[in-house]
Structures are given as C-alpha cells and as structure tokens.
Structure 1
Amino acid sequence: MDRQQEFVLRTIEEHDIRFVRLWFTDVLGTLKSVAVAPAELEGAFSEGLGFDGSSIEGLARVFESDMLVRPDASSFQILTWRGERPGTARMFADIRLPDGRASMADPRNVLQRVLTGAAKAGYTFYVHPEIEFYLFDKKPASGEIPVPVDNAGFFDHVPHGTGQDFRKAAIMLLETMGISVEFSHHEAGPGQNEIDLRYADALTMSDNIQTFRAIIREVALEHGLFASFMPKPLAHQPGSGMHSHVSLFEGDNNAFHDPAGRYQLSQTGQQFIAGILHHAPELSAITNQYVNSYKRLWGGAEAPAYICWGHNNRSAMVRVPMYKPGKGASTRVEIRSIDSAANPYLTYAVLLAAGMRGIEQGYELPPESEDDVWNLSDQERLAMGLRPLPASLDHAIHLMEESELVAETLGEHVFDFFLRNKRAEWAAYRDQVTRFELDEYLSLP
C-alpha cells in the first residue's frame, strides 16, 4: 500500500467517514457512483471492486460484463456539501478488467494513454477551462420552455441577485473540495453564468470538471433552482461553451513560449495549433457530441463555426490570448469550440492527440484570421480558405468515421460504441416533427 492510500485510510478514520463513493464516467461523460464501506477500501485499492459493466453506457457487452473499479487515492476528497455526520467522501476510480488490466472502454484511461504518450515526448499537458451554464427557476416539464432566473447580461452586477448568491455558494464549495476558481461572472444570456477553474494537468482537470458539474447541480437544488449544461437551451440566446486554455510544459518551462516568436508563441505552440486546426472537423463529434451542440456552433454569439486562429479574435476557433510581459508561463492557446456538455476525458484526449500530431509531423500554421469571421461573406471566407466546422451531428459522425487519428486515440471499443450511440441519437432526432415545422408547414396548400 502506498502513502496516498495510507493517507486516505487514516483520514477516513480521523473524520469519521462512513460512506466512500467511487466515481467514474461512462463513454458519454455521465458521472456514475458506487458506495463502498471504509472497511472494504483496502481491498478495493489492491484488487478493485466488482460490478456489472454491461449496465453502463459503452463499458462492456453483456457477455463480458464483469468489471472492476479501482479507486485513485490521489483524487480523495471529503464531500463537504453534504454536511452529513457521519461524513461522506469520494474518489475517482479507474475501470479494470478481471485480470487487472486497464479497460480500453474507460474514458479516464483513454486520456491517461494519450498523456503517457505526451510524457514520453517530454510534455505535461495543462488545461484551464471557462465553463458556462444556465440557471433556471425550475426544471421545466416536457414541452415547457425553461425560465431563466434573471434577465441580466454580460458582467452585469445584480444586487442581491440569485445568480450572484449562487456563484458565491458554489465557489465556496469548490474551494473546500480543493478546486481553485480564478473568475466568475454573469454571462451574456439571461440566467447564464460562467465559472473559470484554475489551470491543472489534464487528468486532474477532467476529474475537477466532473466534480464541478456535480457541485453546480447540487447547489442549484439547494437554492430551489435547476442548472443546465445543455449547449443551447434557449433559442435566440448564446449557447454554453467550455473554452479551454491549454499549454504544454517541458519540466518547468512552457513549451509554447518563445520571447522572439510572434505573439511570443514558439514553433511548438504554432505546430500544436496547426494540428488542432487540421483535425478539427473529425474531432467535432467528441468536442460537440449532441444534436443540440450544432445549434450553439451555428447560432452566432461568438460561438466559432469556422476553422481559423487569431490573436484576441473571439470569432476564431483557436485564439492566442494576449501575452503578459515577463510571464512566459502564461503563454497558452484557447480552444473555443468545445461545449459545456462534452466528456472532458475524451475531449482533452483527442485535442492533445491532434496537437501532438501537429508537433510530430511539423504541421505548418496557416495565416492568422484578423477579421470578424461571422461578418465575412461566404465568398470572402472561401477566398481566405476558411473551412467550416460540421453543421450537424450527422456531418460530424461521418467525418469521425473516417478519422484514423480519432480511432487510434479512443481505441476500438470507445470509437465503435461512440459512433453507434451518436448514429442512434441522430436517427431519433431526425424522426421528430418540431414545433417550428408545425408552425411553418401545417397549413401549406
């Protein structure tokens, strides 16, 4: 037993923790949980805890359903929001096969494999996400339009506002869970909020994002509200993105930083961006995994729909933020296409794989886009060589199907299940008759 595991067992005893929840994520990013008694933890650390994997989306087929969850002691946290005595704690868990091997169907393992590959090349991948979501008065019944908690706008200060009180309570809980917050504010849409998490390595951050979503939903319920990470819940209003600032470090040195480079961006940073741009269409089914995601991308309001990069250009898919003089560690790349409902493990895995492919094969960075891409005409965008992102989930699926990079990154099991699931989602959506169609076409002659 290692020191972290010993620390967990000692902390559980000292804080009278009676329930330990092991958290893991299915292929679509839904958080799963199984409770284990403290007395069983030592065995769970060494051998894992058995469960029926065929009941979880994408983990296993019925005839190979026996799986194990093995807790990661480094992710241990007491669930302070529950306020229970005796207390409750949680750890993220890795999914294992009965023989102890890592499950190729575990999204956390998908990311770990890509991070291991980057580490062999000398890199550590860091992420800083800006997570947007909506707050509604309540969860709407089927057919009802959700009602936002306010009509405020971007950066609005609302004295004694519901959203303001909500963000304060959520941030306090996040901090007690060891998740540092950099900024929080009201976003552009009514009832829309944003909370930015302080940077961390990609695996820790993916765990943090899953914890963040759970805390946001819990705090919303405590306030009598409903929180939604749906990419675009309201027509004619901004969608919710998860803009992610990313960087590669070689030890203590930022591999993206070069004081002599344009925007202080190194050749490594340029090649990383080039990899993201080159492979962006085939990654979209992962970074924007729902039918609704494409209503955000193609609905304007600063959501990127065209594949380009720019310096401080918020209409671009990839942005190079302004460099802070004397702070080389802050040089980074912002990827703006990701939506708030993405599975963070798979999303950061494919983005890192694409960026690393750009570095390994020396991709050339295309010219910078300095214009507001949304205000250009189709002819102007064509002349500038700006390719569009997929316009629908169906389009994104077809591009992913042909992607060697995504297949290699996800592994055969996750790749095949994800595509089957998304084809079924598109078929179900295509079968619907919407209110728009009824209003427009029911009275056709």
Structure 2
Amino acid sequence: MDAAEREHRRQRAENLLAGLEEQGVVAVATSFVDNAGVSRVKSVPLDRLPSLAAWGVGFSTAFDFFRFDDWVAAPPSGVGPVGDQRIVPDLDRLVVRSALDGWAWAPGERFAQDGSAYALDSRLLLRRLVADAAAGGLTYRAAYEIEWVVSLDDTEFVPAASGPAYGLARLGDASDYSHDVLAALAAEGVTVEQYHPEYAPGQFELSVAPEDPVGAADTSVLVRDTVRAVGRHHGFVTSFSPKVDVAGVGNGGHVHLSLWRDGQNLMAGGQERFGLTAEGVAFAGGVLAHLPGLLAIGAPGVASYLRLVPQHWAGAYACWGLENREAALRMVTGSTGSESAAANLEVKSFDLQANPYLLLAGLLAAGTAGADLPEPVDVDPASLGEDELARRGIGRLPTSLRESLDAFAADEVLTTAFGPQLVEAIVAVRESELELFADASPEEVAAAVRWVH
C-alpha cells in the first residue's frame, strides 16, 4: 500500500462521514477472523474513520496464535509475541449495523507496518486465490449455510424455542425473534433465501444468496454477529458451536460452491455425470481428494469431531453423490430447468468454528489442483457395511482433530497455498487445543466451546 493508495482510502472514508452520521453511526468496527475461528475487532469513533482507512490500527501478531479461549499458543519459532500489523477496513463492504445502534462494521485486512500484505491474513489469501483464478478465466460463487441454537441460559443449554424439528409450531413459538432476525439482515443488505427451524431443540438455519468467495465469507461473519445481536435483544444466548449438547446433532456450516467460465456454470450443462462439465468434475474431485486435510481448517476443533459422525447428515464418509445428505460432497442440480443457475457442490463436513476465509481459500486450492471423481454413492454409506465400503473404496473421513491435522500437515497442495508462516500458526493453534483437551470428556469439550462461536 503506497502513499497514493492511502490517500485514496482516506478521501473515500472522508466522503462517507456525512452519510454515516445522518444514519446515527458514532463508531466503526473492523475485524478479522483468527485461526481459531474467532472474530477479533478494533473500533474507532466515526471521525477517526479516514485515519483508520488510510493507516489502519495496530494489532499484535500474537493474535494469529490465539486459541478459542484466548490462550496464546507458542509456535516452535518463538515469534508469537514479536511484531505488529495494521488492520485496514474494506470500505466496499461497510455496513451500518441494524441490530447494534450507532455502529457500522467493515471486514478488515491486515498489512505489515511497511504497507505490504501481511502473510498470515486469510482474507488477503482468499482474494489472491480468487484473482489467480480470474486471470485464468474462472470465477466462483459461494455461500455458507448458518445453523445456530438459542438458549435461555448461558451456563447450560436451555432451548429458547420449542416445537418439533422443521415444525411450524417452533417457527410460531419464535415468530417475533425470527421476524427481527430477517428484518435486521435485510436492513444490512443480506439476501436471505431460506429460513427455518432445524433438527435440534432451539435450532434454526438460514441460507443466503451466493456471492464471490470473499463476499460469502464476509456475509458469514456479518450474519452470525447480527443473529447474536438480535438474540441478545430477546434475552437469548446464541451458539454456533458444532456440539452444543453432546446428545444433539450439532450445528453445521455447510459450504455451497460453484465455478464459472464465460458466464457458464461449470457444474451444469456438461457431458459428465449429473451434467457436470469436465472442469466441474476435476474441481469436485480435487475437493474430495484433499478433504482429510481440509477438515483441519473446516472442522478445526476437538468438538467438531463430536458432530462429524455417521447418520447425522454431517458428511462423515469420503464420498459424493447426487442429493446424498450423508455423503461429504452433495451434488445439487436444482429443479429441472434451473440447473444452469442452481447447480453447485455442497460440502457438508464443515462447521462454524472454521475461519470462513481460510476455509474457502483451502477449497479453491484443493479444487484447482483437481482429481478424478470416484463413482457416486446413492445410499447412506453407513448402510453398506465394512466389506462393501472397502470394495467401493469408501473410507471414513478423519475422526479426530489429531488425524485431520496430520493430514493437513502432509498435504502439499494446502500447505503450499497457505505458505509456511500461516501453516505454522494453524498447526500451533490446533496442537494447543489438542493438548488442552487431551483428557477431557465429550461433555467437558462441548461445555468449553459452547458459547465461543
């Protein structure tokens, strides 16, 4: 970032001040998501926005080594507490918050003190991979599904809405709350495509419109913070944890992804199975081939593997299939006649402890590497039995963070895309969590992370 770029950012922010003041904004927050999936924030009074936009505000580099509980993991290199960075807001995504009076928010990107891109910033990484693909004529559309539960208590989980799974009764029980969630998101410019009660007690889910990958990750952060804020207004505590209650199904964070060339969706209109194009097949194959290592990014905590079990619609088996909700990769074609717009790949094995930028970066790197797709699976893989699974070459995905972290460290496609500094930080944070929970029961794990994400 040179002097001309800084002045451009400063002037743009200056031009926004009057309009923001008219909307009642008194402060602007900018945040990034760390390697434990926690959004970390700095904020300034509104009149300081031009300075924030031009120069950013300081953040210790130690935040790349923060565990979910704010313990700072110690990397082998010893560099954790050394150095500083500047977080700078992306004014293109500045949003006046509808459920947080007086506040505006913009996702941040981190730069070194000399203005160069910070090597461990996941949003800058994702932007770079998107730009690399665009240089080759490829674009992507992505969206996160958001699942959460609301509780009446912050010490134990007491569902704040009653009624059966997907039930109209539960929607009615929480109609005022649901109204306020949808109204708040609409006011913030988020396009919600679906909203419904989910399977677990007190659980809801919404789907948003697809965007470019960076926009999709931004929206994931914004939606969760808005849902949490609306819940507070209603006296609810919100959890996006993958395992709120050990006996329950948990919250997922499925990713929908499609790739496009020259305005054509490469997940449709092709000659391969289910209408995939050859490029679509290779991309899906790359994601499936690298899924064991990707789980260290997309299912990044010990609690993630309490959710990632068969027959919970979590995608516990390394396979794919058409509309198969037990396969790790669910091919979605959409209704007949809508395929060209609707076809996409849903990756079901992930949860909302993940850093959304880092996860999409990993998915793009894996898909770009490409691989052949095996035969699709048209039944619940858990119903096949061990002999048939072995015959078809279908294996379980990693069943622990230890297993997925080892797969990540050995995956040259992922580690090369992320770079050694970021890989070191990710591994340090994961190793620290493994050490923390080495002797913990599932109930203790679930309780420790219940209200963090």
**TM-score w.r.t. structure 2 length?**
0.88
In 2, the alpha carbon distance for the partners of 1:160 and 1:46 equals 45
Specify whether residues 233 and 257 from structure 1 end up closer, same or farther in structure 2 by C-alpha distance, changes over 3 A only: same
Specify whether residues 159 and 385 from structure 1 end up closer, same or farther in structure 2 by C-alpha distance, changes over 3 A only: closer
Specify whether residues 331 and 432 from structure 1 end up closer, same or farther in structure 2 by C-alpha distance, changes over 3 A only: closer
- Does residue 276 (structure 1) correspond to residue 276 (structure 2)? The answer is no
Deviation at 1:435, TM superposition (A): 6.9
In 2, the alpha carbon distance for the partners of 1:237 and 1:38 equals 43
In 1, the alpha carbon distance for the partners of 2:425 and 2:194 equals 37
Specify whether residues 130 and 153 from structure 1 end up closer, same or farther in structure 2 by C-alpha distance, changes over 3 A only: farther
Which residue in 1 is equivalent to 2:266?
255
Which residue in 2 is equivalent to 1:123?
138
Which residue in 2 is equivalent to 1:79?
97
Specify whether residues 56 and 368 from structure 1 end up closer, same or farther in structure 2 by C-alpha distance, changes over 3 A only: closer
- Whichever residue aligns with residue 84 of structure 2, its letter is D
- Whichever residue aligns with residue 343 of structure 1, its letter is N
Larger RCO: 1 or 2 (CA < 8 Å, sep 6+): 2
- Does residue 100 (structure 1) correspond to residue 115 (structure 2)? The answer is yes
Specify whether residues 55 and 377 from structure 1 end up closer, same or farther in structure 2 by C-alpha distance, changes over 3 A only: closer
- Per-residue Cα deviation, 1:100-146 (whole angstroms, up to 9, x for no partner): 01111112122122212211221122112221111222112xxx4x2
1:109 alignment partner, one of 106, 110, 124: 124
Which residue in 1 is equivalent to 2:203?
192
Specify whether residues 41 and 418 from structure 1 end up closer, same or farther in structure 2 by C-alpha distance, changes over 3 A only: same
Which residue in 2 is equivalent to 1:343?
355
2:148 alignment partner, one of 133, 153, 171: 133
Deviates more, 1:231-240 or 1:60-69: 60-69
In 2, the alpha carbon distance for the partners of 1:335 and 1:175 equals 26
Preserved contact between residue 158 and residue 164 of structure 1 (Cα < 8 Å)? no
- After TM superposition, list the pairs within 5 Å mapping 1:183-262 onto structure 2: 183-258=194-269, 260-262=271-273
2:55 alignment partner, one of 47, 50, 67: 47
Deviates more, 1:64-73 or 1:207-216: 64-73
SS in structure 2 at match of 1:46:
helix
Give the RMSD, CA atoms, in angstroms.
2.2
Deviation at 1:183, TM superposition (A): 0.4
Which residue in 1 is equivalent to 2:343?
331
- Does residue 404 (structure 1) correspond to residue 412 (structure 2)? The answer is yes
- Per-residue Cα deviation, 1:394-441 (whole angstroms, up to 9, x for no partner): 1111111111112112221221111111111112211336779xxxxx
In 1, the alpha carbon distance for the partners of 2:154 and 2:366 equals 38
SS in structure 2 at match of 1:92:
strand
Preserved contact between residue 77 and residue 91 of structure 1 (Cα < 8 Å)? yes
1:319 alignment partner, one of 327, 330, 333: 330
Deviation at 1:285, TM superposition (A): 0.7
In 2, the alpha carbon distance for the partners of 1:347 and 1:411 equals 15
Which residue in 2 is equivalent to 1:66?
84
- Does residue 367 (structure 1) correspond to residue 379 (structure 2)? The answer is no
- Whichever residue aligns with residue 347 of structure 1, its letter is L
SS in structure 2 at match of 1:317:
strand
Specify whether residues 7 and 373 from structure 1 end up closer, same or farther in structure 2 by C-alpha distance, changes over 3 A only: farther
SS in structure 1 at match of 2:436:
helix
In 2, the alpha carbon distance for the partners of 1:314 and 1:29 equals 25
In 1, the alpha carbon distance for the partners of 2:392 and 2:271 equals 27
SS in structure 2 at match of 1:409:
helix
Unaligned 5+ runs, structure 1: 437-445
In 1, the alpha carbon distance for the partners of 2:106 and 2:442 equals 42
In 1, the alpha carbon distance for the partners of 2:58 and 2:305 equals 38
- Whichever residue aligns with residue 286 of structure 2, its letter is G
Deviation at 1:4, TM superposition (A): 5.6
SS in structure 2 at match of 1:308:
strand
Specify whether residues 63 and 188 from structure 1 end up closer, same or farther in structure 2 by C-alpha distance, changes over 3 A only: closer
- Per-residue Cα deviation, 1:284-340 (whole angstroms, up to 9, x for no partner): 111100101111111532221111110111111111113433331222111111112
Preserved contact between residue 144 and residue 207 of structure 2 (Cα < 8 Å)? yes
Preserved contact between residue 21 and residue 91 of structure 1 (Cα < 8 Å)? yes
**TM-score w.r.t. structure 1 length?**
0.89
In 2, the alpha carbon distance for the partners of 1:331 and 1:7 equals 41
Specify whether residues 180 and 375 from structure 1 end up closer, same or farther in structure 2 by C-alpha distance, changes over 3 A only: same
- Per-residue Cα deviation, 1:10-69 (whole angstroms, up to 9, x for no partner): 422443532111222222221122122333322332333334333564699456422111
Deviation at 1:257, TM superposition (A): 2.2
In 2, the alpha carbon distance for the partners of 1:188 and 1:6 equals 47
Which residue in 1 is equivalent to 2:429?
421
Deviates more, 1:59-68 or 1:341-350: 59-68
Deviates more, 1:94-103 or 1:129-138: 129-138
In 1, the alpha carbon distance for the partners of 2:225 and 2:50 equals 26
- Does residue 388 (structure 1) correspond to residue 421 (structure 2)? The answer is no
Unaligned 5+ runs, structure 2: 1-7, 67-71, 73-77, 445-453
SS in structure 2 at match of 1:387:
coil
- Whichever residue aligns with residue 246 of structure 1, its letter is L
